[in-house]
Amino acid sequence: MPSASPLAGLRVLDFSVFLPGALLTQWLASLGARVIMIERPGRRHFLALDDQHPYYAVLRRGKKSIVLNLKDPDDYAVARALLRWADVLVEGFRPGVMERLNLGPETARAVNPRLVYVRLSGFGQTGPYRQRPGHDQIYQALAGLLSPWGEPPVLPPVQIADVGGGTLPALVALLAALWARERTGQGTCIDVSLYEGALAWTYFLLPMHRRTAQDQAWLRVFLGQVPAYHVYQTKDGFWIALSALEPHFWDAFCRAVGRPEWGTRAFDPDLIPEVAEVFRAHTLAEWLGPDGQGGILDPEQISVAAVRTVSEVLQDPHLRAREAFAFDALGYVHPRLPMRFDGQRPPAPAHVPQPNEHAPWIRALAQGDTQAEARLFGPTPAF
């Protein structure tokens, strides 16, 4: 087995529609898993995105697709047969949907006791909120993640609850369940709540909320409300992030800007305007050098960086040297999984399937054709 494909041979049924589950199964595919998407007839995103949109490219790469109407007896029979093939099932519907389709955990695990059944939902399978609709900002709002930023609350440009509170916990739970199955021979049903996943991000906010005023003031650091951890504008309108929390970094910064008297004021909010005035005295190139080195501030000695656009990130020499980017067959660029195994990155799947592209082979697989899986995914890995 190639060391960069540690999940080679793992079989996954993907019933996901939206980001948390679909990204989870895309990551599994990137790690070598064999992922079959069970898609709905007439699948369309609520924003009416076409099949060439980057959203679909991000979430569909490396998977195999079949469109099934699960209310049709013949299509349902295909889905049920695939339960015997799968190691993992991932779904992201509201509680009760899979049960109404007669594909809930009890049914699925009666067919395949080794199946690891992953359920991602907004509020979990139980509790008074279980049937509420929601999106990422709803879970962040309820979990208290938006309140510290002041008024109006600031929405981050990435889905913290969907990915950080859904995809990541589900991945950890799934891998833990697979490890447990190796010992017990039995699968399990995993209930992941995006709301509770967002709550997990309050690891500092929650325990600190009833502490002393001095303790709560510590939270200002990570809200950028102290001079040593702040974002400043340059003379030419660009922005620089300063993260000089450790005393030696702050002292180095103070010496570099000719203000050694600031040495004891790293966490004094009243100093921010003075530091901002110093930053406005020079251009970005003067501060950091025309090529990110040789400027007034040395990123090798001080924790400091320019605030980049996404286009600028694509030109980063470090990320290019690390081969951090991959392209799919539609030409879209993607971040690769941020890990290596024995020095090798996981392969970056390039193919973005069209809906139902692999239906003949998947139907053959469901009917017991022993050659269908190899035609779909290539040779079965030897362990």
37: left (phi over 0), alpha (psi -120 to 50) or beta: beta
- For residue 1, the model assigns a pLDDT of 44
Tell me phi and psi for residue 38, to 5 degrees: -100, 105
- For residue 208, the model assigns a pLDDT of 73
Q: What is the pTM for the complete model shown?
A: 0.93
Residues belonging to the active site:
135, 162
- For residue 55, the model assigns a pLDDT of 85
76 touches 104 (CB < 8 A): no
Tell me phi and psi for residue 282, to 5 degrees: -140, 160
- For residue 213, the model assigns a pLDDT of 62
- Reading the chain (383 residues) residue by residue, the pLDDT tens digits are 446 799 999 999 999 989 999 999 999 999 999 999 999 998 655 566 677 788 888 899 999 999 999 999 999 999 999 999 999 999 999 999 999 999 999 999 999 999 999 999 999 999 999 999 999 999 999 999 888 766 788 888 889 999 999 999 999 999 999 999 999 999 999 999 999 999 999 887 777 777 666 666 677 787 889 999 999 999 999 999 999 999 999 999 999 999 999 999 999 999 999 999 999 999 999 999 988 788 999 999 999 999 999 999 999 999 999 999 999 999 999 999 999 999 999 999 999 999 999 999 999 999 999 899 999 999 877 65
Which amino acid is it at 372? A
282 touches 237 (CB < 8 A): no
CB contact burial 317-347 (16+ within 10 A = b; e otherwise): eeeeeeebebebebebebebbeeeeeeebbb
H helix count then E strand count, the chain: 17, 11
345: left (phi over 0), alpha (psi -120 to 50) or beta: beta
Pick the CATH number of 11-201+323-377 from 3.30.70.20, 3.40.50.1580, 3.40.50.10540, 3.40.50.280: 3.40.50.10540
357 touches 37 (CB < 8 A): no
Cis peptide before 152 (omega within 30 of 0): yes
Q: Does domain 217-233+239-306 match CATH 2.40.10?
A: no
196 touches 135 (CB < 8 A): no
Domain ranges of the chain: 11-201+323-377, 217-233+239-306
Q: Which residue has the tokens 């790690």?
A: 31
**What does DSSP say about strands 325-327 and 333-335: parallel, antiparallel, or unpaired?**
antiparallel
DSSP letter for each residue of 317-339:
HHHHHTT-EEE-TTS-EEEPPS-
- For residue 275, the model assigns a pLDDT of 98
Q: Which of 309, 373, 265, 354 is nearest to 65 (CA)?
A: 354
- Class of residue 118 by CB neighbours under 10 A (exposed 0-12, middle 13-18, buried 19+): buried
Distance CA 62, CA 14 (A): 12
